[in-house]
């Protein structure tokens, strides 16, 4: 290879999506067990990848890790390592910083929060004792605005009990403790009678049982699932939904990211493609939302690596926490088995619209079409997050 | 006992007069805008005052000028909506305007919509009042951060470190203010004020010595109970600030029965306090409150500026830095950041890019792989040279750019910080040990 070319600004053969083609070729090589090609491509990717570069370089870096582990059948081990690394560096301050910044620059998570809170407030209107079971990955950032709404909207402020279901990976003990204390303080500030508890699920989320939650007779229950259902093992999803139904909730809010890593479980290349497509959009969104040198963005990208690894390099449902996303229409089909749909009222939709107005352009709201239900958040006209509400 | 809606708490006290005449008006009547009709000419008016003013114009003889029937009994109004809490006579509202507004707000159609924030209102005056201030506010947290969006302000506030200190001070100030009973609006206003700035403005009520940050000796069951009602207090450090408060009486109060003789008074106070939060105090950016703001005539339930007015600036008098970090912690953090920014990517790829040695030298790449797997290395090297490499252009371009940046062979990561060269991989053994300092993988040592 010649080294004489000094400045080649945009080599046409270096197409924009070089990472995608390299990565996909490698995935194909792996599924065909073409070891020469595998080694070659892994090496190439390694040369070009960087978690600090542009989007392509980042995608190359994180997907390379998954491909490498797949090729060497070391997915589970690597996953465990990533988990322990994350746990060590995880703290309340760091988690708070990252998520609040993310919410400031992008409606990715706040969209689901606003829609869900709207549905919850509507369904629990007039109830004196509320119990929200929160199975989410957003560190309770959904609740301050709900607390404020409860304090100001109602004639009589109801009593709110918040149960957070935490799996081992996502929320370490000290982090949850701190969050709980903050929530309690804030509720006091708002004048809302409040109780907080954390229920820890030892292994998979699918193992959650009704008994673990400590429900009381006289309370109105709402179940809030943000990025939760995808963490339930694929085969256990039906049972999990039935379990939720048995809690006799007034409303179940479900928010999921729009990607399908489930139906293609047995076809590696297809699954890989979908994974790449989704994270390509996500990384691009992060790039356009954050400042170029943002540390928070870096953290979010790193957190993706676990998911990517879990889906592409681990057997079955994944190394630890399952992460098999499904699209809104797929979740609809499942949820219809246990629940009936509840549409978002005008106030909730207005609130979501108002929310999106506060962010940079590119975001919009799309109600589900046809048989499907719920609301989509779209970025550059591509649906990325799906929010829905269900009642028994 | 339950808290009363904000505006209703002020417009109408709890109706406890058993002799009151309960009036149930129809929805149509409640929504009608010209309720007050002149008996002489039939002209309708929205307000009774306007009607009275108009009647004067008819030059009535003195006797008839007075209201025709002096109400012997107090009138209270119930809400016609069956599911509403105010439908029951015991929860009737004492003011006609109050019941009309309530019905309209709660059960009426929300015809008025703010175009800035999409908030909807049933009462036009509520909408107007809101539109005036919508989008114009800035919300400032005690920690100094400013927000233009209310929702992000609220979320930030809930997790802000400043809240921890705030709560501690609040409890002290509120203890002081709850000394007297709560029937006096003036008192309620000042009593509700959690801002210790207020202490300075109303010396008659407060002991001016108990200024910001100082601990008061007034450990009454008052507001601290209100603050904690409905939840079990944890005995650990949930309120570190609280534990700094000396007087043991406050402690016992905190851990006492939160619902002790407090019931109605506390709840009403709660309502009053919420009103305080909701009232537009932001005009008092400097924290000064005049007596005019006590008068709730302009109060609109819809004008909820709750959190922001509460949290306008005031300077902290405590010595702890806002972040609450010790010097050691700060140093540790800096060290961490320094290390992570210069550590390599998963495969040490960045460094490799910048290496200036010739690509064709197969031996360089043998260095990447464990010599104990020569077949692999040979494979890699030969496949590189022999296969028609569709990516060679790409590679060389990037290589050149990297070289341009890197200069004479010194390896650098993207931040331009020099890092030691790291080996790519040891055969194909996966990297399983992570350097806990950098949180990046390092070679397995044993």
ipTM of the complex: 0.87
A141 min Cα distance to partner chain B (Å): 6
Residue B344 banded pLDDT, cuts 50, 70, 90 = very low
Residues of A in contact with B395 (CB under 8 A): 1, 44, 47-48
Q: Which of A155, A159, A161, A345 would best serve as a mutation to test chain B binding (most B beta carbons within 10 A)?
A: A155
The better pLDDT of the pair B144, B436 is held by: B144
State the pLDDT at residue B40: 80
Where is pLDDT greater, at B82 or A348?
A348
* Residue of A85, A189, A194 for testing the chain B interface, max B β-carbons within 10 Å: A189
Window 112-171 of A, Cβ < 8 Å to B: 114, 126, 141, 143-145, 147-148, 151-152, 155-157, 159
Q: How confident is the model at residue B348 (pLDDT cuts 50, 70, 90)?
A: very low
Collapsed DSSP state (helix, strand, coil) of residue B92: coil
Residue with tokens 């649906």: A383
* Per-residue pLDDT, B281: 38
Identify the CA nearest to A87 among candidates A162, A166, A163, A144. A166
Q: Is B361 left (phi over 0), alpha (psi -120 to 50) or beta?
A: beta
The DSSP secondary-structure symbol of B412 reads B
* Phi, psi torsion values for B113, nearest 5 degrees: -130, 135
* Distance in Å, alpha carbon of A382 to nearest chain B alpha carbon: 24
Beta strands per DSSP E along B245-354: none
d(C-alpha A352, C-alpha B50), whole Å: 41
Distance (Å) from the C-alpha of residue A336 to the closest C-alpha of chain B? 30
pLDDT reported for residue A32: 93
As a whole number, the mean pLDDT across chain B is 53
Residues of chain A with pLDDT under 70: 1-16, 154, 168-171, 317-321
Give the closest residue to A23 by CA, choosing from A10, A12, A33, A37.
A37
| Distance from the B71 Cα atom to the nearest Cα atom in chain A, whole angstroms | 29
User: How many Å lie between the alpha carbon of B287 and the closest alpha carbon of chain A?
Assistant: 19
8 A C-beta contact, residue B233 and residue B213: no
Most confident of A269-273, B60-64, B297-301, B318-322: A269-273
What is the pLDDT at residue A251? 96
Q: Do B400 and A159 touch (CB under 8 A)?
A: no
- For tokens 């703010």, name the residue: B114
Beta-carbon separation of B158 and A147 below 8 A: yes
Q: Are A241 and A252 in contact (CB under 8 A)?
A: no
- Cβ A141–B4 below 8 Å, yes or no? no
| Residue-level pLDDT at B62 | 64
The number of beta carbons lying within 10 Å of the beta carbon of residue B249 is: 15
Is A135 strand, coil or helix? strand
Residue of B110, B115, B158 to mutate for A, most A C-beta atoms under 10 A: B158
Report the residue from A22, A103, A191 with minimal CB separation from B155. A103
Q: Which residues of A touch B81 (CB under 8 A)?
A: none
Pairing between strand B75-78 and B139-140? unpaired
Phi then psi dihedrals of residue B316, to 5 deg? -85, 140
User: Distance between CA atoms of B423 and B411, rounded to whole angstroms?
Assistant: 13
Which of A139, A132, A112, A362 is CA-nearest to residue A247?
A132
B154 vs A5, A77, A144: nearest CB: A144
Among A254, A241, A230, which residue's Cα sits nearest to residue A386? A254
Which stretch, B146-155, B266-275, B419-428, has highest mean pLDDT?
A: B146-155
Interface test with B, best of A41, A47, A56 (most B CBs within 10 A): A47
Alpha-carbon distance A54 to nearest alpha carbon in chain B (angstroms) = 11
List pLDDT tens digits, range B214-250. 333 343 433 333 344 433 333 333 333 333 333 443 3
What distance in Å separates the CA atoms of residue A128 and residue A155, rounded to the nearest whole number?
Answer: 11
Chain A residues close to B113, C-beta within 8 Å: 350
Task: Decide if pLDDT at B198 tops 90.
Answer: no
Element (H, E) at A389: strand A382-391
- Helix H segments across chain A? 18-31, 35-48, 55-71, 75-89, 92-105, 110-123, 143-153, 173-190, 210-213, 237-246, 268-289, 295-313, 328-335, 346-357
CB nearest to A40's CB, from B387, B434, B441: B387
- Quick one: average pLDDT of B79-83? 80
**In the prediction, which pLDDT does A352 show?**
93
Q: Which residue of A has its CA nearest to B442?
A: A81
For residue B401, the cross-strand partners are none
Across the interface, of B118, B270, B387, the residue whose CB is closest to A354 is B118
CA distance B346 to B432: 11
Does the distance separating the beta carbons of B167 and A188 come in below 8 Å?
Answer: yes
Do the beta carbons of residue B24 and residue B78 sit within 8 Å? yes
Cβ distance A51 to B346 less than 8 Å, yes or no, reads yes
What span, in angstroms and rounded, lies between the C-alpha atoms of A251 and A142? 16
Q: Are the beta carbons of A1 and B399 separated by less than 8 Å?
A: yes
* C-beta atoms of A44 and B395 within 8 A: yes
Q: How do residues B362-421 score in pLDDT, each as one tens digit?
A: 433 333 333 344 444 344 444 444 444 444 444 444 444 444 443 444 444 444 444 444
CB A283 within 8 A of CB A253: no
Q: B73 pLDDT band (50/70/90 cuts)? A: low
CB-count burial class (<10 Å; 0-12, 13-18, 19+) for B10: buried
Average pLDDT over residues B107-136: 77
């Amino acid at each position: 290879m010649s080294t004489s070319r000094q400045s080649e600004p945009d080599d046409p053969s270096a197409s924009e999506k070089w990472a995608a083609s390299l990565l996909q070729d490698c995935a194909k090589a792996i599924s065909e067990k073409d070891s020469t090609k595998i080694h070659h491509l892994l090496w190439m990717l390694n040369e070009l990848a960087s978690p600090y570069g542009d989007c392509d370089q980042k995608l190359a870096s994180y997907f390379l890790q998954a491909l490498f582990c797949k090729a060497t059948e070391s997915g589970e081990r690597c996953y465990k390592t990533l988990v322990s690394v994350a746990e060590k560096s995880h703290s309340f301050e760091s988690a708070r910083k990252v998520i609040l910044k993310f919410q400031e620059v992008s409606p990715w998570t706040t969209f689901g929060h606003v829609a869900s809170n709207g549905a919850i407030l509507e369904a629990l209107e007039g109830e004196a004792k509320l119990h929200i079971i929160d199975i989410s990955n957003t560190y309770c950032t959904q609740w301050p605005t709900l607390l404020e709404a409860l304090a100001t909207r109602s004639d009589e402020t109801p009593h709110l009990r918040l149960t957070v279901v935490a799996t081992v990976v996502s929320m370490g003990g000290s982090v949850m403790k701190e969050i709980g204390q903050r929530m309690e303080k804030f509720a006091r500030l708002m004048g809302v009678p409040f109780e907080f508890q954390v229920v820890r699920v030892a292994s998979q989320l699918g193992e959650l049982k009704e008994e673990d939650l400590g429900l009381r007779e006289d309370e109105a229950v709402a179940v809030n699932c943000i990025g939760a259902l995808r963490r339930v093992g694929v085969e256990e999803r039906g049972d999990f939904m039935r379990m939720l139904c048995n809690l006799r909730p007034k409303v179940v809010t479900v928010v999921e990211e729009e990607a399908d890593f489930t139906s293609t479980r047995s076809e590696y290349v297809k699954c890989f493609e979908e994974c790449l497509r989704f994270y390509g959009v996500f990384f691009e969104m992060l790039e356009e939302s954050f400042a170029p040198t943002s540390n928070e963005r870096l953290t979010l990208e790193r957190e993706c690596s676990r998911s990517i690894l879990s889906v592409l390099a681990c057997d079955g449902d994944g190394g630890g926490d399952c992460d098999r996303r499904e699209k809104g229409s797929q979740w609809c089909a499942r949820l219809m088995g246990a629940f009936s749909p509840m549409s978002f009222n005008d106030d909730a939709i207005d609130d979501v619209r108002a929310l999106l107005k506060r962010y940079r352009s590119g975001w919009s709201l799309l109600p589900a079409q046809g048989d499907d239900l719920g609301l989509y958040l779209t970025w550059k006209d591509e649906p990325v997050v799906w929010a829905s509400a269900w009642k028994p | 006992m339950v808290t009363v809606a904000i505006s209703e708490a002020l417009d109408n006290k709890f109706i406890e007069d058993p002799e009151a005449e309960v009036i149930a008006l129809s929805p149509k009547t409640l929504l009608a805008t010209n309720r007050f009709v002149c008996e002489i000419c039939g002209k309708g008016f929205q307000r009774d005052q306007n009607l009275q003013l108009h009647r004067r114009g008819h030059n009535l003889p003195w006797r008839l000028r007075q209201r025709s029937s002096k109400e012997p009994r107090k009138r209270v109004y119930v809400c016609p909506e069956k599911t509403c809490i105010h439908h029951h006579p015991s929860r009737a509202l004492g003011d006609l305007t109050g019941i009309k507004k309530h019905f309209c707000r709660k059960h009426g159609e929300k015809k008025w919509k703010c175009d800035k924030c999409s908030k909807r209102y049933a009462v036009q005056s509520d909408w107007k009042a809101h539109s005036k201030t919508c989008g114009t506010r800035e919300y400032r947290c005690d920690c100094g951060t400013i927000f233009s969006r209310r929702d992000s302000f609220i979320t930030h506030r809930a997790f802000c470190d400043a809240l921890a200190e705030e709560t501690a001070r609040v409890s002290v100030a509120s203890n002081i203010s709850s000394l007297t009973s709560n029937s006096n609006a003036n008192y309620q206003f000042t009593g509700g004020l959690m801002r210790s700035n207020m202490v300075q403005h109303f010396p008659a009520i407060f002991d001016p010595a108990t200024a910001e940050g100082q601990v008061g000796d007034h450990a009454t069951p008052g507001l601290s109970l209100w603050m904690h009602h409905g939840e079990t207090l944890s005995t650990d450090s949930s309120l570190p600030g609280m534990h700094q408060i000396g007087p043991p009486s406050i402690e016992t109060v905190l851990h006492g029965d939160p619902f002790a003789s407090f019931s109605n008074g506390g709840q009403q106070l709660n309502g009053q306090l919420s009103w305080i939060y909701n009232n537009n105090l932001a005009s008092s950016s400097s924290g000064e409150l005049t007596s005019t703001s006590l008068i709730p005539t302009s109060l609109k339930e819809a004008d909820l500026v709750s959190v922001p007015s509460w949290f306008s600036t005031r300077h902290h008098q405590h010595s702890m830095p806002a972040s609450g970090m010790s010097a050691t912690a700060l140093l540790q953090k800096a060290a961490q950041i320094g290390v992570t920014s210069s550590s390599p990517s998963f495969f040490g790829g960045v460094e490799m890019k910048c290496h200036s040695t010739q690509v064709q030298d197969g031996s360089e790449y043998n260095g990447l792989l464990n010599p104990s797997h020569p077949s692999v290395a040979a494979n890699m090297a030969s496949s590189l040279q022999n296969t028609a490499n569709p990516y060679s252009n790409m590679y060389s371009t990037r290589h050149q750019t990297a070289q341009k940046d890197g200069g004479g062979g010194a390896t650098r990561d993207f931040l331009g910080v020099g890092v030691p060269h790291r080996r790519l991989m040891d055969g194909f053994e996966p990297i399983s040990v992570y350097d806990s300092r950098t949180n990046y993988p390092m070679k397995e040592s044993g």
